Amino acid sequence: MRQSFRSVYDVQQLLKRFGIFVYVGERLWDIELMMDEIKKIYQHQLIDQQTYLSAMAVLKKEHQWEKERSNKKD
């Protein structure tokens, strides 16, 4: 199952296929939890390396953007 991702929504759809729904209420925490779940799915060899790397790249980029955005609020 090789897949590339463009947005957090795409990653959420992948997680949903495994029955994983993430909503903590704080977007930054949601992204961090999604990163943990993607790592676990990859470690259990349920997704290939390219899918893992693509999903993590999207999540890391979005995580950084959210951190910068929250710093501007403060």
Q: What is the pLDDT of residue 62?
A: 97
- DSSP string covering 8-41, please? HHHHHHHHHHTT-----SSHHHHHHHHHHHHHHH
pTM value surpassing 0.85:
yes
Q: Are 24 and 33 in contact (CB under 8 A)?
A: yes
Q: Kindly state the DSSP code that residue 45 receives in the 8-state scheme.
A: T
Kindly report, residue by residue over 11-34, the tens digit of the pLDDT: 999 999 999 999 999 999 999 999
pLDDT beyond 70 at 2: no
pLDDT, tens digit, 9 for 90 and up, residues 42-69: 999 999 999 999 999 999 999 999 999 9
Please identify, in words, the CATH class of the domain defined by 8-73.
Answer: mainly alpha
CA distance 52 to 31: 15
